[in-house]
Amino acid sequence: MNNIKELQDKTENLKLLAAQRVLYKRAKKMFTFQVISTVVVSIVFVVLKCFTKEQLGFDPKDINVIAVVVALLEPLLFMLLVSNLRTNGAKIQELFDRRLYGMKWNKANSEDEPEKHVIDENARRYVDDPKAPLENWYDIELDGLSHNKAIITCQETNLFYDGRLRLSFRDASLIVCLIMVLLTVVIAAILDMSMRKYFTYLALPILPAISLTLKIYLENKKSQAAADKLRGFAKQIKRNEDTPSFEDLKQIQDRIYCMRKDSALIPEWYYKKHRARLEREMKVNASAD
């Protein structure tokens, strides 16, 4: 039998969950700021294009060059700022899982374990949220399962949750991008703009927002596809083997860490909005297996 339910609520393991949640939340706040600032910058660019060279003190055409530069450099800047937070969050979450599963840390795959001071510092910053408790992290039925079957059930649950969340956010991102493009087309039609004026006064100024939205869509599409593919592999193992081998489970866990480390972030407000539905679907899916 397994003891995952007991281990997950031990104080030292709850501390890991608190630390990773704080790190991810900080990274998500930075990502949300990036989205908001990009939209604001795009709107400012459009407004500035309405003024003359004399009113602005510079040629409005220069805004197109600035917009392209912002579209290229801004994602890179925020990626560098967010990357360390996301990696540390993924490492701490990996350490939590490996403690529950009884797996040794794989340095070849995940490099060094998270620093103790990073865990302690961020755990201290954690503020309890009654709507999203740390206790009973794997809130699924594991009683009666062998240790290996319990592990693969938790792994599959992680992948199901991540894939469903990213599928939803991916589609929402595409809708937002299409709405932005459609609005510029409608405005251009109302003002009877030529194609050249449309690109000069509307399309290029909002390029940073469109570029970021497309980037979000493509990254989440890639992450969602990877989660679904790995989940399919886990499901196949469960179907074909009475007792999944520990070696297979370690390989799945290594890939889960890599996905967490490299996957695009999803804003905290979006996650909270869909959390109840996703957890409900997760429990139904776990019980169906």
**How many other β-carbons are positioned within 10 Å of the β-carbon of residue 42?**
22
The mean per-residue pLDDT over the stretch 130-152 comes to 91
pLDDT, tens digit, 9 for 90 and up, residues 22-33: 999 999 988 887
pLDDT, tens digit, 9 for 90 and up, residues 169-204: 999 988 988 888 888 888 888 888 888 887 777 777
204 assigned to some structural domain: yes
pTM of the model: 0.82
108 assigned to some structural domain: yes
Q: CA–CA separation, 225 vs 221, rounded Å? A: 6
The answer to whether the beta carbons of residues 245 and 82 sit under 8 Å apart is: no
pLDDT of amino acid 4: 95
112 assigned to some structural domain: yes
pLDDT, tens digit, 9 for 90 and up, residues 70-86: 666 666 666 677 888 99
141 assigned to some structural domain: no
- Residue 36 clears pLDDT 80, i.e. is over it: no
pLDDT of amino acid 200: 75
The mean per-residue pLDDT over the stretch 123-136 comes to 91
**144/101: higher pLDDT:** 101
pLDDT of amino acid 243: 80
The mean per-residue pLDDT over the stretch 106-131 comes to 94
pLDDT of amino acid 228: 93
- Residue 276 clears pLDDT 90, i.e. is over it: no
Lowest mean pLDDT among 136-145, 226-235, 237-246: 237-246
SS (H, E, C) the chain: CCCHHHHHCCHHHHHHHHHHHHHHHHHHHHHHHHHHHHHHHHHHHHHHCCCCHHHHCCCCCHHHHHHHHHHHHHHHHHHHHHHHHHHHHHHHHHHHHHHHHCCCCCHHHHCCCCCHHHHHHHHHHCCCCCCCCCCCCCCCCCCCCCHHHHHHHHHHHHHHHHHHHHHHHHHHHHHHHHHHHHHHHHHHHHCCCCHHHHHHHHHCCCHHHHHHHHHHHHHHHHHHHHHHHHHHHHHHHHHHCCCCCHHHHHHHHHHHHHHHHHCCCCCHHHHHHHHHHHHHHHHHHHHHC
pLDDT of amino acid 52: 64
137 assigned to some structural domain: no
pLDDT of amino acid 205: 75
- Residue 91 clears pLDDT 90, i.e. is over it: yes
Cα 208 from chain centroid (whole Å): 20
pLDDT of amino acid 240: 78
**88/80: higher pLDDT:** 88
Range of the domain at 8: 4-132+146-288
The answer to whether the beta carbons of residues 258 and 109 sit under 8 Å apart is: yes
pLDDT of amino acid 155: 95
Instruction: Please count the structural domains in the chain.
Output: 1
161 assigned to some structural domain: yes
140 assigned to some structural domain: no
pLDDT, tens digit, 9 for 90 and up, residues 200-221: 777 777 777 788 888 889 989 9
Cα 28 from chain centroid (whole Å): 8
122 assigned to some structural domain: yes
